[in-house]
Structure 1
Amino acid sequence: MAERILVVDDDPIQRRLLEEAVRRFGHLPIVVSGGAEALRVMAGPDGRTVALVVLDLVMPDLDGMAVLLKLRESGSAVPVIVQTSQGGIDTIVSAMRAGAFDFVVKPVSPERLQVSIQNALKLATLEGEVVRARRTATGTLTFDDLASASPAMERVIRLGRRAAASNIPILIEGESGVGKELIARAIQGSSDRRARPFVTVNCGAIPEHLVESILFGHEKGAFTGAVDRHVGKFQEAHGGTLFLDEVGELAPDIQVKLLRAIQEGEVDPVGGRRPVKVDFRLISATNRSMLDMTKEGRFREDLYYRLNVFPIFVPPLRERKEDLPDLVKTFVARFAAEQGRRRVIGVDREAMALLEAYDWPGNVRQLENAVFRAVVLADGEVLGPDEFPQVAAQVGTVAVLDRHRPLVTGEAARPTPRLGDGEAGRADPLAPRGGDAMTGWSPSPSGLTMGSGPTPFGFLRSLDGDGHVRDLAAIEEEMIRIAIDHYGGRMTEVARRLGIGRSTLYRKLKEYGLEEASDIVAAE
């Protein structure tokens, strides 16, 4: 996958050669001519996006060794490949001790440089994942470990940083699999309760008759089977953070006790003689609309306002596709190491285009599982579309129509129509034609061309067989069919995506005679 690589060299010819090599390897070069300029780049806003530095050791203003030392003093963990024409053993040892990842001697062959870059990027990603896992386990994960390229997620991170500065109750909302627990852990790791207990409770996974005991604890002999005293989750979280996942699943009687625990800072263990004081930071999460549940009487209004003091909404993955490359890179590095598939280094452009074309209804969790499967199936070093058959089956032919060119989005991606048989001699370019400029496209080795083949999934025909504009009712019917097929018959999602109410959708299904088709799709 494309990474930003900083090239530092005072020789203009060498800079140009390195720039072209880095670009040929599929990465994005940032080129500077000296050590001082390199440090300014790394200290600026672009520094966070640099994944690797290729550094010349011998430069007039500030040599490479000084740059290495200053990077390490600043706490930068970006790997550095040093290069020089002076390949003495003392120079190599000094550079490695200063923190260089690898050492190459000028003139370096493209093959040698490519291997060094691949190894450095892969190791850096894996080390970052190890650090995140260690910090997650020790309760010291921070928002610095959750860098995002998405404006929507950057807003979540900004809110999380503010929330971490106080002890305010937080309600994290978002679809299943978006990473609500990760946000909660980052809030704790950024607060004064870092490295303290972080206790997670999945409220929807606890048997109803055990909820009270698990949350608040019980005394020995409190009920049949209580052979020992049990400390509840609230007491386990004393001094730290209690994370209540799927809090909307709690029964009404437990909601009352939870409200008391939040208001009074104490819990009543089952069979206990007196309440127990607890000091905890409460973070709740839900994938439901708590406001709707409150209006319907399924959740206590007073408890809702206690939990929803500082709401944070985590957007679904389909609304932050900018994060896909970093997420995929992280998952590939982790699973390649865990599964002993260390030669797998990333995904190609076509596979990334395929992943970006998919909506990911299961969000980050679904993406993680898809990459896991792809790494296990991989035969080569780079994952391609063939390693994601389930995604390809859902996306169809829309995402990647040309296997020999990178996918381009926007206006530039629109294919140039190619005249079919007999079109060249047409005198009036505005006269109705037998083909459809939007639906006559069919896949070909050179892109999309006019033809008589089947319409690719996702495209709408704008003209009928006689070359006239189709009426709106026919287009609407076809759009509903596409939506039902694309979202697997999930009518709530179909209605939401079409921007209409469910009742309106069902009325139109009946009007167009699509009830049977929608039932079949939904049943599948």
Structure 2
Amino acid sequence: MARPVLIVDDDPVQRRIVEAAVSKFGHETLVADGGQAALDVLDGARGRDVAVVILDLVMPGVDGLEVLKRMREREIHVPVIVQTAKGSIDTAVSAMRSGAFDFVVKPASPDRLQVAIGNAMKVEAYEGEAKRAKKGAAGSLTFKDLVTGSATMERVIQLARKAAASNIPILIEGESGVGKELVARAIQGSSERQGKPFVTVNCGAIPDNLVESILFGHEKGSFTGATEKHTGKFVEANGGTLFLDEIGDLPLDVQVKLLRAVQEGEVDPVGARSTVKVNIRLISATHRDLLQRVKDGEFREDLFYRLNVFPIQVPPLRDRREDIPMLVQHFISRVAPAEARGRITGISAGALAMLKAYDWPGNIRQLENAIFRAVVLAEGSVLTADEFPQIKAQVEGIDESALETADAGRVVPSVVDRTLPVDDGAPEDETPYVGDEAESGMSGRFGLVRALDDRGNVRPLADVESEMIKLAIEHYNGQMSEVARRLGIGRSTLYRKLKELGIEPEEGRSERLAS
């Protein structure tokens, strides 16, 4: 029997139907009659064995969205397939945004359910392989190993190169997932401490009562449970670099000892009779606004100025979208399972445009995970928009017809009509439209959208918006997905605006053709 599938539904009839289908596929099943019961199973002895969760979204008490939230908080990374009714479109979108792997529409066909479970198990198996491979390949990085071509990141690298030439404390700021640790490793790998220890500590992941012991060490018997002597991260990093991630989460009492360690170059292990001298390069990182935490009394001002000697701000991925094609290429060739690397030859223009349109709240870490899953699940040699269901749900929105099409096992058409090699940027034939041929003398098909009326007054926004939508419909030959993407809105928003403005999809085309 394969690893068990956890079925979560408060409806006993629906639960039995899904259980029978999953058992027929050859999987062991576990059942839970509600959200809290599901969390109890995942927290219990069999929780680590669960391969996939099939989760109903609408349940009394702890509903499906709350289960997803609590799984994320507890760092339970089991793929979740959510079940939704045809009318629960907004809930389905929220579930995908909360990290659900896939969705099925009730009543789910056995074939659709089997495909969803198979895909989830395939990704889950390869994720473990990829993590082991990455851990084994970790080594010394330099700035040449940072994948970027954007001007904003080039400025970051210039600052980091200057920082690498000295031993002053560095504070790297930026949102979670932007690559702060990679920048820190590149600084270490380009400095005189290259090849020396690089010790990382996630200050936000350590229980408050253990922070001091983990950072500074302790003597045997110094407190209950201290059965052996522990050297601490400062001593481990001696001669090299200590990277304190999420430094803004350190408790105030530990901040006092950290300040002394930074100032004096020595630490006080818990229970020790003497201090220990250390020679480290300290690099701190945070996604928080440390200055605001100082004002709020949650971070010591003297420690802040000790750490903030050389600040480096790493921008989020949404502010350097030109890096996305290069990162996609890198992740396809480096992160994907070995058996898939030669099979995937590129990414479609539509898929790449969709990735560039998305805001990436999880930044590079989220992009890496998205590419990994897409490569594992792709049937063909080219990644298309359909390999990124979570991103697609948020960039374009999901309507009922899309859900029904997906549930039938077919892909929702995207605006993919060309293929890009993975190291390319945008399609070469995407040229801007620069003016009306009657006014500019150019042979362009489009005119300018007038901002002023005949009296010289600014035209109403609704008129300008209506004209722009009509122009877009005509130019993209009525391909509404492309029209929505070019206008920077979702398809559902586009259709709503068409209705509000009284525009028929063919109206824009006929007006332009008539002219």
TM-score range, shorter chain: 0.5 to 0.7
1:247 to 1:441, Cα distance in 2 relative to 1, 3 A: same
Q: Which residue does the alignment assign to 1:96?
A: none
Structure 2 residue 323 is the aligned partner of structure 1 residue 323:
yes
- Output one character per residue of 1:372-409: Cα deviation in whole Å (capped at 9) or x when no partner: 110111111111111112111111189x9743365976
Q: Which residue does the alignment assign to 1:301?
A: 301
Q: Which residue does the alignment assign to 2:351?
A: 351
8 Å contact 2:148–2:323 — kept in the other structure? Answer: yes
What's the offset of the Cα at 1:312?
A: 0.2
What's the offset of the Cα at 1:440?
A: 4.6
With normalisation by structure 1, the TM-score equals 0.55
- Output one character per residue of 1:53-89: Cα deviation in whole Å (capped at 9) or x when no partner: xxxxxxxxxxxxxxxxxxxxxxxxxxxxxxxxxxxxx
Structure 2 residue 477 is the aligned partner of structure 1 residue 447:
yes
1:410-421 alignment runs, 5 A limit: 411-412=432-433
- Output one character per residue of 1:139-165: Cα deviation in whole Å (capped at 9) or x when no partner: x31101115210000000000000000
Partner amino acid, structure 1, of 2:180: K
Structure 2 residue 416 is the aligned partner of structure 1 residue 403:
yes
- Output one character per residue of 1:407-438: Cα deviation in whole Å (capped at 9) or x when no partner: 976743999679xxxxxxxxxxx9x9999223
Aligned mates of 1:435, 1:216 — CA distance in 2 = 62
- Output one character per residue of 1:469-505: Cα deviation in whole Å (capped at 9) or x when no partner: xxxxxxxxxxxxxxxxxxxxxxxxxxxxxxxxxxxxx
What's the offset of the Cα at 1:345?
A: 2.4
1:339 to 1:300, Cα distance in 2 relative to 1, 3 A: farther
What's the offset of the Cα at 1:338?
A: 3.7
Choose 1 or 2 for highest CA Rg.
1
8 Å contact 2:147–2:327 — kept in the other structure? Answer: no
8 Å contact 1:374–1:383 — kept in the other structure? Answer: yes
Q: Which residue does the alignment assign to 1:436?
A: 466
Q: Which residue does the alignment assign to 2:213?
A: 213
SS in 1 for 2:365: helix
8 Å contact 1:442–1:456 — kept in the other structure? Answer: no
8 Å contact 2:360–2:367 — kept in the other structure? Answer: yes
SS in 1 for 2:242: strand
1:493-504 alignment runs, 5 A limit: none
Aligned mates of 2:363, 2:463 — CA distance in 1 = 43
What's the offset of the Cα at 1:168?
A: 0.7
Q: Which residue does the alignment assign to 1:281?
A: 281
8 Å contact 1:246–1:286 — kept in the other structure? Answer: yes
Aligned mates of 1:147, 1:401 — CA distance in 2 = 28
Aligned mates of 1:184, 1:135 — CA distance in 2 = 19
Aligned-pair Cα RMSD in Å: 3.8
SS in 2 for 1:447: coil
1:103-252 alignment runs, 5 A limit: 137-138=138-139, 140-252=140-252
Partner amino acid, structure 2, of 1:412: Y
1:407 to 1:374, Cα distance in 2 relative to 1, 3 A: farther
8 Å contact 2:147–2:330 — kept in the other structure? Answer: no
Aligned mates of 1:247, 1:356 — CA distance in 2 = 31
Aligned mates of 1:466, 1:183 — CA distance in 2 = 52
With normalisation by structure 2, the TM-score equals 0.56
Aligned mates of 1:151, 1:352 — CA distance in 2 = 20
What's the offset of the Cα at 1:216?
A: 0.4
Aligned mates of 2:346, 2:388 — CA distance in 1 = 13
Aligned mates of 1:444, 1:378 — CA distance in 2 = 33
1:202 to 1:466, Cα distance in 2 relative to 1, 3 A: closer
Partner amino acid, structure 2, of 1:137: A
Aligned mates of 2:212, 2:195 — CA distance in 1 = 27
SS in 1 for 2:467: coil
Query: Runs of 5+ in structure 2 lacking a partner?
Result: 1-129, 399-412, 419-426, 436-443, 448-458, 485-489, 504-515
Aligned mates of 2:234, 2:465 — CA distance in 1 = 68
What's the offset of the Cα at 1:341?
A: 5.2
What's the offset of the Cα at 1:191?
A: 0.3
Aligned mates of 2:362, 2:307 — CA distance in 1 = 26
Aligned mates of 1:246, 1:364 — CA distance in 2 = 17
- Output one character per residue of 1:311-368: Cα deviation in whole Å (capped at 9) or x when no partner: 0000000001111111101111124344545311221222111111111111000100
SS in 2 for 1:243: strand
8 Å contact 2:333–2:341 — kept in the other structure? Answer: no
Aligned mates of 1:441, 1:178 — CA distance in 2 = 38
- Output one character per residue of 1:196-222: Cα deviation in whole Å (capped at 9) or x when no partner: 000000000001111111000000110
Aligned mates of 2:387, 2:228 — CA distance in 1 = 51
Aligned mates of 1:197, 1:156 — CA distance in 2 = 24
What's the offset of the Cα at 1:268?
A: 0.2
1:250 to 1:449, Cα distance in 2 relative to 1, 3 A: closer
Aligned mates of 1:404, 1:191 — CA distance in 2 = 47
8 Å contact 1:136–1:185 — kept in the other structure? Answer: no
Aligned mates of 1:442, 1:380 — CA distance in 2 = 31
8 Å contact 1:170–1:311 — kept in the other structure? Answer: yes
1:164 to 1:285, Cα distance in 2 relative to 1, 3 A: same
1:133 to 1:154, Cα distance in 2 relative to 1, 3 A: farther
Aligned mates of 2:465, 2:169 — CA distance in 1 = 61
Structure 2 residue 385 is the aligned partner of structure 1 residue 370:
no
1 or 2 for the larger relative contact order (CA 8 Å, sep ≥6)? 2
